[in-house]
Structure 1
Amino acid sequence: MRSPKYHRIADDLRSQIRQGQLAPGDRLPSETATAAKHGTTVPTVRQAMAVLRAEGLVESRQGIGTFVRKTEKLQRRSRNRYGAARGRDGLLNNRFRHKIVFAGLQKVPDYVAEALGVNRGRAAVVRRRHLFDDAGNLQEIGASYLPRSYAEGTYLAKPAVVPKALFRCVEDITGRRYTHAQDQWDARPATAEEADAFGLTLGAYVMHVLHTARDQDGGVLEVSESIWPADRLALVDEYEIPQQDTGEPGGSDV
């Protein structure tokens, strides 16, 4: 079966953007011109534009028109983040301005409880943060969940930006060292609150990473999560390729 006409219009414009026929900052043809080209109506064209806005490819400017978005993707290089932060002062992500919007004891979501290895309904020391660029635009929503056993009653439970990377603060307090980390990535539609905070169209996707850090004995030191608009992020993973069988399961091929 043929796809709906607004999907075909979106496909055509998306192809032009990806092939460079429409460059970042270019104004798209008017709705009436696009409708005439495809032999359809303006409402159908508007449906196509809504799809492209949800994908982060275009933006509409009131009274002016619709333009190809200029996007500079953030790069997250998970494997070298800790090593790079050990050699300098400042926060783990020192590119953006940090605002702590909450710090203190709070019940954690079930998926965080599972990662922490605690029963559902338990509380942890939670630090919720927003990261802003130089223009004041929200770029990341994040939270760190710290076991009460070491974090309760410390400065980590207070709503202030810590003096250095959080993992270094945790190591100082506990005397334990971060030695192993796991990142679980998911792409999902933004919640209404996330869409409003990031200025996204409802239905736009975000990337959500759940990060679990452990010490040399396998104890969980921190669980954190970060959320970004999907069109603003590129995950970069560089690693050595084993030259012999490691005996480890490979999981599903993707």
Structure 2
Amino acid sequence: MSSGTVADMVDDLRQRIDSGALEPDEKLPSTRVLMETYGLSDNAVYRAIALLKAEGYAYSRQGKGVFVRSRRALITGARRIRGITHPGERIEWRYSTRTEAPAWVAEHLGAGECVERARTVRRGDEIKEASRSWVHLDVVGVVPELDEARPCNPTWQAVYTERSGNPVKAVSVIADARIATDDDREALGLPAGTHPVLFTRTVYATGDRVIGVGESVPAPGNPVDLTEH
């Protein structure tokens, strides 16, 4: 690219990171190389890097350069509804069952039966995240796949939106910590013992009605990023 703009550089690097061409913690090219690649001045390259950092795509290591930030930990909002995996990752389904809503779920969905689904996200042999979702039975009429032990492509929220015409939004996300439960340990492959873990809970709604909630537990060592993308 002989000449360009800050937006060109940002768009290109963003696409390369999203596609997996640039992997988490990979070092970005030097300022000089970026200047030559995108036909920009050093100040323009600095502005582009600052935008990538502000959007959560990059971070600096003092004296070492600029690196790609991992986008795995938490994808919220519309990005999470479109899909929860990144290139090289896969979903492994653990179970899907009808169950009575746990107390915290009932606070959002109402008491009674709902569909509970559990899965893990892996990159190679490494478990990156375990998650569960609880979905109102009304949604099953639109997305019957919820009762099956297989993924909804790309997610139940996106499928529901497409089929019903009613957009689903992630209306709130909270993060907290706890001692790993038996289910956490089983899903994440943790050994016996006491393991503190972080978790996030997301509430999904269409219009003014909550139709699902989700809980994600990243494997120890994976950060939780509450930035909305």
TM-score of the pair, normalised by structure 1: 0.54
Amino acid at match of 2:140: A
Give the superposed CA RMSD: 2.7
CA contact (8 A) 1:73 1:234 kept: no
Who wins on radius of gyration, i.e. which is larger?
Answer: 1
Query: Aligned to 1:203, what secondary structure does the other structure show?
Result: coil
Unaligned runs of 5+ in 2: 1-69
CA contact (8 A) 1:73 1:233 kept: no
CA contact (8 A) 1:190 1:203 kept: yes
Amino acid at match of 2:181: T
Q: 1:147 to 1:173 in 2, by over 3 A?
A: farther
Alpha-carbon displacement from aligned partner over 1:118-175 (angstroms, at most 9, x marks no partner): 12xx1102221121111x2222111121111231581221111222232111213433
Residue aligning to 1:112: 105
Q: 1:177 to 1:186 in 2, by over 3 A?
A: same
Q: Does 1:102 align with 2:95?
A: yes
- Please give the alpha-carbon distance, in whole angstroms, between the structure 2 residues aligned to 1:130 and 1:190: 15
- Please give the alpha-carbon distance, in whole angstroms, between the structure 2 residues aligned to 1:162 and 1:99: 12
- Please give the alpha-carbon distance, in whole angstroms, between the structure 2 residues aligned to 1:219 and 1:188: 29
- Please give the alpha-carbon distance, in whole angstroms, between the structure 2 residues aligned to 1:74 and 1:200: 23
Q: 1:154 to 1:190 in 2, by over 3 A?
A: same
Q: Displacement of 1:203 after TM fit? A: 2.4
Q: Does 1:141 align with 2:141?
A: no
Query: Aligned to 1:111, what secondary structure does the other structure show?
Result: helix
Q: Does 1:231 align with 2:221?
A: yes
Q: 1:221 to 1:186 in 2, by over 3 A?
A: same
Unaligned runs of 5+ in 1: 1-71, 86-90, 240-254
Residue aligning to 1:81: 79
Say which is worse superposed, 179-188 or 190-199, in terms of deviation: 190-199
TM-score of the pair, normalised by structure 2: 0.59
Amino acid at match of 1:188: R
- Please give the alpha-carbon distance, in whole angstroms, between the structure 1 residues aligned to 2:210 and 2:180: 28
Q: How many residues align?
A: 157
Residue aligning to 1:92: 84
- Percent of residue pairs bearing the same amino acid type: 16
CA contact (8 A) 2:121 2:130 kept: yes
Alpha-carbon displacement from aligned partner over 1:192-218 (angstroms, at most 9, x marks no partner): 4423543256222111111101122x1
Residue aligning to 2:17: none
Q: 1:147 to 1:166 in 2, by over 3 A?
A: same
Q: 1:226 to 1:187 in 2, by over 3 A?
A: same
CA contact (8 A) 2:72 2:85 kept: no
